[in-house]
Every structure is written in C-alpha cells, then in structure tokens.
Amino acid sequence: MPFYIKQGQIPDKRHIQFKKENGELYREELFSTHGFANIYSNKYHHNMPTKALNVTQHSLSHGEPWQDTLIQNYKLDTTQADKPGHFFNARNKIFHNTDVSFYTAHVTEDTSAFYRNAYADEVIFVHEGQGRLYSEYGTIHVKKWDYLVIPRGTTYQLKFDNYQNVRLLIIESFSMIEIPKHFRNEYGQLLESAPYCERDIRTPILEDAIVEQGDFTLISKFGEQYQHISLEWHPFDLVGWDGFVYPWAFNIEDYAPKVGQIHLPPSEHVVFSAHNFVICNFVPRPYDFHPLSIPAPYYHNNIDSDEVIYYVDGDFMSRTDIKAGYMTLHQKGVPHGPQPGRTEASIGKKETHEYAVMIDTFNPLHLTMHVKNCMQKDYNRSWLEK
C-alpha cells in the first residue's frame, strides 16, 4: 500500500502468457481492492491458488460479550486474560464495534498452520518478541515494537525466535489501513513534514518459491466465523509479484513526534488512519516550551470518539499505577484527564519518556467479559481527591 514494488520474475505486461521453462503457464492472481478500482497487486504462482482439498468449519472463541455495561472510564490489566496458544488462537478480544476490534495475545507456541483474515486488515503491534512474518510476498524480519500492517486476504505465518515472552496487540480493521492523506503529496510520496518516510517502512523480501504438493492447513477468518481449508499446494509458491498491496512493517521508535509551544492534541500523534478510527503514537519527546506551559493534557470530553490507550513502556505522566500491558478506555460523553496532582507535578518537566498506542474510534465500542474480569474496579473513582 505505501508505494509500488516489483519483486522476482514477472511478464512484460499484465494478463498475458507467462511460461515456465517447461512451457507450462504460471498462474496470475490479481489481488485487488474496492472492486478493481483501487490499489492492487499481481501475483504469479507456480500452481492455481484456488486448489483446495477440503473446507470445514473451525471453532475459535476470543471473548464473550459483556452485556449492560456502564458508560464510564475503564482501566484493565490485559495480561490477566492471557491464555496459551499461537499467533492467532491466543487472541483475546477486548473491545469492538462495526469498524474495528482490539485483541491482545500472549503467544506461547508455534504452529505450522497458515492464517488469512479474509474480511479485515490487521495491524499487529509486537509489544514483546522478535521473529519473522512469512507471507506469499516474502519475509519481513520482525522487531520488538514493530507495527505489522497486513492487508485482508493475505496468507501468512508469524513465527518468533523464542516463546518465553511474546506479547501482541492486534487491531482488526474492516476498512483499509492507510497512511494519513495529510502526510502525503498528490503523488503519494510522504511529505517532508510527515513524522516518518518511506525509508522507515520495511517491505517483504521474496524468497525462493516453495513448490510442494501435500495437505497444508489454512485457517481463514470470515468476520466472526473460521474455516479450515486444506490446500493442495504450499501457498508460498510465487515466482514474482508487483503492485501496491502487501504486508509491511514500521517501528514505533522510527516515529518523529511533533512538539509545540503549548500542549498539542492527540490528533497530532496520528500514525495510521482508517474508516471511523485512527491509530496514534505517544513516544519520548521534549515537552512544550512556553514559559507557562502545562505539559500534562488538559481535561477533555471526547463527545464524538471513544479513546483506547495500550501502554507499552515508560513513565506515564498523567496517570498513576500504570504498567506495560495495561489498557484504558475513556468513552465518549465522559470527561477525563490527569488524575489529582499529576497536572501540578508535570509543570517544569522538560521531556517525557513514554511509549503507548492510542486508538480513537468514532463509533461507540462494545466490551467483552475480558474487560469485566481484568478491570480495576474503582478506576472510575481515581479522580477523587484523597
């Protein structure tokens, strides 16, 4: 999606004969978006990507809905929802609406299965761990604090060097994950004023095609349903591909934050956008430089968005008792801001050392039972003077 890439062997033109040395045809697959009217990639397989030996239902559950929740502020320790599993069955759904779902996962084991989210783009934030993202398009080396942007319909595997402490935040989007338009010029190139550039984006490196016949397990997700698909041929059989649609990686430490004379709103920290929600970063940065500045955020009431923050690392100056892996939800229509004493304590501070991922949604979020089981019961009273 960020820019055009060409890898491996491809024919001189699209949709023409492209033959192997033995005279057989490579199989072209158009991987398109918005009904052939938006960005796309062309992939060239050794075998037809449509060959499936069998299709059956597959059962996976990530979190039951919590009915009749109160509209208030929530804080929870997502690590309390941990369960063993691999990169897709260990996921716990925390919040969701018709536009986006949020999961956390403590990954404890590997799997040989392939995975495909057929209806949603995924952004996987690698809180802890390192390894490799394997897909039809090639391999991406995965680092701690990477965002992995995986377009819907991509067949992939996510493997880690070890499984001692692998922790993920997964954002599942039912619209395309995009680089915000105001970061790009009319030709699509990232502007000089953007907080990152093309050099910061890591793209797949195509490996040698795997041409193996057998019975390969693909678990495909269709909304809330899963299917087990038995593939006759290994799915990573590409000899070449080109286009704009492919997985890519961006590390939170490569984000260059803006700094203002007075406190900047969270919208200045956007990293990705989608329909009805945005993803933002909070990263280490100098504080505001007005002589009377208050570095802590002012009290605010998100009247048209719910605000989710996933805490990654550092000292979170506006909140007390925050640890890595905690999550807060501040719902629309309910004011929030620094807890007592935190505004005054921020005055005179010159910089912040915090990492967090924030998602603002423009439709209300629904909560699962994981929130009820992992929440701090009195968080909504944490603004009372003691």
**pLDDT tens track for 362-376:** 999 999 999 999 999
243 shares its domain with 280: no
Residue with tokens 């000899």: 239
Alpha-carbon distance values, 344 to 73, 131, 296, 331 (Å) = 22, 43, 8, 25
Query: What integer pLDDT is reported at residue 114 of this predicted model?
Result: 98
Report pLDDT digits (tens) over 161-193: 999 999 999 999 999 999 999 999 999 999 999
Q: Within 13 Å and on the Cβ side, how many CA atoms surround 257?
A: 25
Query: How much is the pTM?
Result: 0.97
Q: Name the least confident of 164-168, 293-297, 324-328.
A: 293-297
As given in the structure block, the two tokens for residue 351 are 């910089």
159 shares its domain with 281: no
Pairing of strands 213-222, 114-117: parallel
| Segment holding 71, helix H or strand E | none
Report pLDDT digits (tens) over 51-78: 999 999 999 999 999 999 999 999 999 9
248 shares its domain with 339: no
Q: Tell me the average pLDDT across 17-22.
A: 97
196 shares its domain with 308: no
Higher pLDDT, 79 or 303: 79
118 shares its domain with 133: yes
As given in the structure block, the two tokens for residue 274 are 């989608």
**Residues present in the chain in total:** 386
| 9 is a domain residue | no
pLDDT at position 266 over 90: no
Which CATH number characterizes residue 128's domain?
A: 2.60.120.10
User: Which residue range is the domain that position 234 belongs to?
Assistant: 30-63+84-252
